[in-house]
Amino acid sequence: MMATLSTYIAFLGNAAEAFTHYQEVLGGELHLMTYGDFPPMEGMPFEPDPASVAHARLDLDGGTITGGDAMPGEDYAIRDTVYSLLYEVDDVDKARELIDKLVAAGGSVNMPFELAPWGSHYGQVFDKFGVMWSFDVAMAEDLGG
């Protein structure tokens, strides 16, 4: 097996909703397992809600987003600018379409998607769950065009 790297997001009880939304916006193949899907797990430090997401994975062209519901008692801010999911696409119109879908579903623009000083089109959006998405479309020369 080849090593891979993917993003993991611990949601505060709404992972199923978030991953279903991401699949609606981005497409891909969604795999979702709840704690109720597992046999009893003795020795767990907490009693998980059977409906809570133990693990979710959305396989996309070019990457994977993984996550689940946070452990009981974990309470932290998801919305922050210290991180973002950087989605590099090869078409400005496709990037705008994805941004529009995230905003229309309750997200907000953090940085308008436009031609950046370095030559790429770039912008940032917070989705309705507070996750920041950065979109980048490299200039044509970078794409071999």
Give the model's pLDDT for residue 86. 95
Q: Give the predicted TM-score (pTM) of the model.
A: 0.87
Q: Residue with structure tokens 């452990």?
A: 71
Given a cut of 70, the residues of the chain with pLDDT beneath it are: 140-145
Q: Domains, the chain, ranges and CATH?
A: 7-69 (3.10.180.10), 85-143 (3.10.180.10)
Alpha-helical (H) ranges within the chain are 15-26, 92-104
Which pLDDT value is given to residue 89? 93
pLDDT tens digits, one per residue of 44-81:
777 888 999 999 999 998 899 999 999 877 888 888 88
Task: Provide the pLDDT for residue 47.
Answer: 80
Structural contact between residues 54 and 37, judged by C-beta atoms closer than 8 angstroms: yes
Indicate the pairing of strand 7-11 with strand 63-69.
parallel
Whole-number pLDDT of residue 141: 52
Report whether 128 contacts 107 (CB < 8 A): yes
Identify whether the C-beta of residue 138 lies closer than 8 Å to the C-beta of residue 120: yes
Q: Which of 91, 83, 96 is nearest to 123 (CA)?
A: 96
At 143 the pLDDT is: 45
Torsion of CA 127, 50, 8, 122, to 10 degrees: -10
**Hey, which bits of 35-95 come out as E strands?**
53-60, 63-69, 85-88
